[in-house]
Structures are given as C-alpha cells and as structure tokens.
Structure 1
Amino acid sequence: MLRSAPRALASQGDVGSPCVSICRMDAGGLCEGCLRSLPEIAGWSRMDDAARRVVWGAILQRAQAREVAA
C-alpha cells in the first residue's frame, strides 16, 4: 500500500484507493490495512483527487509515526 503513495501523490489523474482489503479498525480508530480513519474510508468515493491526495499524505505521516514508535 505505501509503495503506491508516491504515485498517488504525484498523479495528475485518478488517485487510487489505499485499501488493501485488510479491514480491521485498531484501538486508535485507524484501519490496520490502509491506516485511514472511518470518516476517510466512508468519504473516499465522494472526495475529489485533491482531497484524496491529502488523505494519502496523512497515511504516509501515520506510517512514519508508527515506524518511529516501533
């Protein structure tokens, strides 16, 4: 999923979903598979590409924070 992030952030066209079909929410309220919150998941289909890029940026920050904490 994170390998797709640079392509999604740089894309001028459709921004792909970060979903990897591991749909379980952790205690912090994030999906264990894609690191999105429930509002981000629920709103994805209605977001424009700019909003989707913002979510991808948040996912990268969350992933980096998890690596530092580990």
Structure 2
Amino acid sequence: MTDTPPQSPCVKLCSIDAGSGLCRGCLRSLDEIAAWGRLDPRAQRAILADLPHRSARLSGSSQDAPPLSRR
C-alpha cells in the first residue's frame, strides 16, 4: 500500500495569531507550514490529527499579526 501524503489544510486565509503562533486559517504553526512539503505522510497526519484541539489556543488572544503575503 502506498503511503499517499494527505492534502494540506491550507485554506488561503493566512494570518498568524500573535498569542498562539498559529495560523487562523489552517491552525498550523509557521514552522509546520514551512516544513509541510518536506514532512513524511505520517508526520503530516499527526499534525492534521491535532488541528481540532488547537482552536482553543486561538481564543483569548489580544494581538493580531498582519496577514502573510501570498507568493
């Protein structure tokens, strides 16, 4: 069986929450976003599995970072 990589959770709403360090769109950290294409499918799935638990980290943040520029 081929270990097909999962699709990126990016929804093209890139804005990093300063309090949590997570993207408001996909709930990944900047490090996870940058490394996504180099991660093996198991590591990608581990990140995806944790995403539902991360929305709580976004609540209560008082600072917003500007959206990331799209290239």
What TM-score, normalized by structure 2, do the two folds share?
Answer: 0.69
**CA distance in structure 2 between the aligned counterparts of 1:61 and 1:47, rounded to whole angstroms:** 21
More helix by share: 1
- Gaps of at least 5 residues in structure 2 are 61-71
RMSD: 1.9
Superposed counterparts of 1:18-57, under 5 Å: 18-27=9-18, 28-57=20-49
The count of aligned residue pairs is 56
**CA distance in structure 1 between the aligned counterparts of 2:48 and 2:14, rounded to whole angstroms:** 17
**CA distance in structure 1 between the aligned counterparts of 2:5 and 2:35, rounded to whole angstroms:** 16
Q: Percent identity?
A: 48
Deviations 1:22-41 (A, max 9, x none): 01100211001000001100
- Gaps of at least 5 residues in structure 1 are 1-11
SS of match in other structure, 1:25: strand
Greater C-alpha radius of gyration: 2
2:36 touches 2:44 (CA, 8 Å); kept in 1? Answer: yes
What TM-score, normalized by structure 1, do the two folds share?
Answer: 0.70
The structure whose RCO (Cα within 8 Å, separation 6+) is larger is 2
**1:3: which partner in 2?**
none
